[in-house]
Amino acid sequence: MTGFRSLIILLLLMGVVFPSGCKNKEEVLFYESSRKEKAEPPIKEVPKDILASQQAFISLAQQVTPCVVNISTVSRKKLVQPFFQFSPFFDDFFGEQQPRYRRDTSLGSGFIINSTGHILTNDHVVRDAESIKVKLSNENVYDGKVVGRDPKTDIAVIKIESREPLPVAVLGDSDKLRVGQWAAAIGNPFGLDRTFTVGVISATGRSNMGIETYEDFIQTDASINPGNSGGPLLNIHGEVIGINTAIVAAGQGIGFAIPINMAKNVVDQLISKGKVSRGWLGVSIQPVTDEIAASFGLKKAAGALVNEVVPGSPAARAGIRQGDIIVGIDGREVRDVQQLQRLVAETPVGKQVEVRVIREKKEVRLSMKLGSAESAEARQARPEEAVPAVWLGMTVGELPREMRMRGLGGVAVTTVDPEGTAAEAGIRPGDVIVSVNRITVGNLAEYSRVITEAGKKGSALLLIKRGTASIYFVLRTR
């Protein structure tokens, strides 16, 4: 019996080691998951709408990808200097020190907007670039040249001299966007050429993000990552509806794009004259709170309250008064201060527009011709767009209401560029700037005036409140 068991075990072992006689050598398979030529797929009937959507995205990618370019730049960044070097006595002991720099490379995206080689991208993609390389979808590489930049909207136009016909992106109409529409992004995230991602329009009209001076962002959950900046956000027809610009670092599926309609006027001016001219009202404005709305007879908090009118300005000539609430301009509703700033900035200089204001609980319509924000009177006054969104790599905003009610003054640091001068000095988001060059700043208007002067002096001494501590910081402004 023992011998029989041994024979059975031996035969089983031989069956494991040697191929079975039922299959020839060519039929031996180590796995059975590969689909055979005559085998049916696991899902035989795919709904036609799903197939149609898939084909639409395939066509979209094939048609638009050639218009998208990869942008690589080389720039020179100043190295962080020890804090004590800012002392006026440092040079006396150690001699004048030359600033040290490092070479930085960065990647971004862009898209071709005409056959002459103009490319639309973000300003922060090419800012401070000493050299720009543009790679097309056919792998050809060209030298890029900055035609014009507009830091206030984070838009830039560069140009290449092409030896070949160029595919051109089609610009759509971002004013017609609706939440829930399909959205696709193409770009160069983390150096991965022409990555295609799909999502939806999550929201429109996002502002108060502290990213740019003029904000009206499209929010999308189509994946946007570092390197996507400057690339196109597309609708299902393959039209560009936005310029992918920013992400929320702490979140997923939260990306922001500049509406293409906002970019069109900027681009035209950058190509024609290399800079942007903006309209100017000549008023100082503040938000309309619920309490202000109730006292002025408004059903809801909307518009912008005029707290000062610049003498001799377009607003003064049109009859706008202190205490008016601007609720409409040039046929468009004004939701808040930021939207009024943006609408005025987008309106051509010298255009005759109708302004609707609430005065003594009644609506008044006024006609006015917009001035230029670059005019001498605008520069000397305190125009509504005077407060810079970003200065020395940090963004500031008004203090929250609860802090102001406790008698606190100053402006709050909302964001800090990790590679900017403010970050190098040690300033953090959440800090409160109390004074600049020993001049107290109680709000954004005062802060704006003081830093303008500080920029001329070459350095700024900031007193900052951080929690219960007060700390001085010195920033080089040039």
8 Å CB contact between 370 and 349: yes
Mark whether 435 is an active-site residue: no
The matching CATH number, chosen from 3.40.50.300, 2.30.42.10, 3.40.120.10, 3.30.420.40, for 390-476 is 2.30.42.10
What is the pLDDT averaged over residues 184-209?
87
In terms of pLDDT, which residue wins out, 454 or 380?
454
pLDDT band per the 50, 70, 90 thresholds, residue 416: confident
Query: How does pLDDT run across 80-137, given as a tens digit for each residue?
Result: 454 444 444 445 555 555 555 566 777 899 999 999 999 999 998 998 888 999 999 8
Separation of alpha carbons 260 and 42, rounded Å: 43
Tell me what pLDDT residue 218 has.
Answer: 92
Tell me what pLDDT residue 128 has.
Answer: 82
Residue closest to 103 by CA, chosen among 125, 121, 78, 123: 78
How are beta strands 145-150 and 141-143 bridged, if at all? unpaired
Set 150, 154, 216, 324: catalytic member: 154
CA-CA-CA-CA torsion sign (270, 273, 275, 278):
negative
Residue 241 has pLDDT above 50, yes or no: yes
Set 124, 216, 223, 336: catalytic member: 124
Take residue 170 and report the two structure tokens written for it.
Answer: 């089609």
pLDDT band per the 50, 70, 90 thresholds, residue 11: very low
Most confident range (mean pLDDT) of 82-86, 389-393, 474-478 is 474-478
8 Å CB contact between 162 and 202: no
Which residues are registered as beta bridge partners of 246?
Answer: 256
CA distances from 297 to 12, 308, 359, 371, 392 (A): 94, 21, 10, 31, 41
8 Å CB contact between 268 and 114: no
On the 0-12 / 13-18 / 19+ scale of CB atoms within 10 A, 345 is: buried
Q: Is there a common fold for 174-260 and 279-380?
A: no
Query: How does pLDDT run across 420-474, given as a tens digit for each residue?
Result: 888 888 899 889 999 888 888 887 778 877 877 776 667 788 889 888 788 888 8
Residue 219 has pLDDT above 90, yes or no: yes
Angle between helix 260-273 and helix 337-346 axes, rounded to 10 deg? 40
Question: What contacts 277, CB < 8 A, 6 or more positions away?
Answer: 269, 349, 372, 373, 374
Main-chain phi, psi angles of 165, to 5 degrees: -65, 140
pLDDT band per the 50, 70, 90 thresholds, residue 25: very low
What is the pLDDT averaged over residues 143-169?
92
Residue closest to 267 by CA, chosen among 211, 72, 255, 259: 259
Main-chain phi, psi angles of 303, to 5 degrees: 95, -165
Mark whether 124 is an active-site residue: yes
Mark whether 229 is an active-site residue: yes
Tell me what pLDDT residue 478 has.
Answer: 63
8 Å CB contact between 210 and 226: no
Residue closest to 120 by CA, chosen among 131, 111, 108: 111
How are beta strands 182-187 and 68-78 bridged, if at all? unpaired
Rg (CA), the chain: 30
How is domain 174-260 classified at the architecture level of CATH?
Answer: Beta Barrel (2.40)
Take residue 162 and report the two structure tokens written for it.
Answer: 């092409």
Residue closest to 358 by CA, chosen among 299, 445, 316: 299
Separation of alpha carbons 113 and 123, rounded Å: 16
What is the pLDDT averaged over residues 363-371?
90
How is domain 279-380 classified at the architecture level of CATH?
Answer: Roll (2.30)
pTM metric for this prediction: 0.66
Query: How does pLDDT run across 456-466, given as a tens digit for each residue?
Result: 667 788 889 88
Write the DSSP symbol of residue 325: E
Separation of alpha carbons 149 and 214, rounded Å: 14
Question: What contacts 31, CB < 8 A, 6 or more positions away?
Answer: none
Tell me what pLDDT residue 407 has.
Answer: 67
Tell me what pLDDT residue 21 has.
Answer: 42
CA-CA-CA-CA torsion sign (215, 216, 219, 225):
negative
Separation of alpha carbons 200 and 222, rounded Å: 6
Which residues are registered as beta bridge partners of 326?
Answer: 304, 357
Separation of alpha carbons 385 and 448, rounded Å: 10
What average pLDDT does the chain have?
Answer: 81
Q: How many CB atoms lie within 10 A of CB 53?
A: 14
H/E stretch holding 398: strand 394-398
pLDDT band per the 50, 70, 90 thresholds, residue 236: very high
What is the pLDDT averaged over residues 356-364?
89
Set 72, 174, 229, 435: catalytic member: 229
Take residue 268 and report the two structure tokens written for it.
Answer: 């035209």
Q: Lowest-pLDDT range, 228-242, 322-336, 355-369, 374-388?
A: 374-388
Q: Cα 475 to the chain's mean position, in Å?
A: 25
Write the DSSP symbol of residue 406: T
Domain boundaries, the chain: 174-260, 279-380, 390-476
8 Å CB contact between 303 and 290: no
Residue 385 has pLDDT above 60, yes or no: no
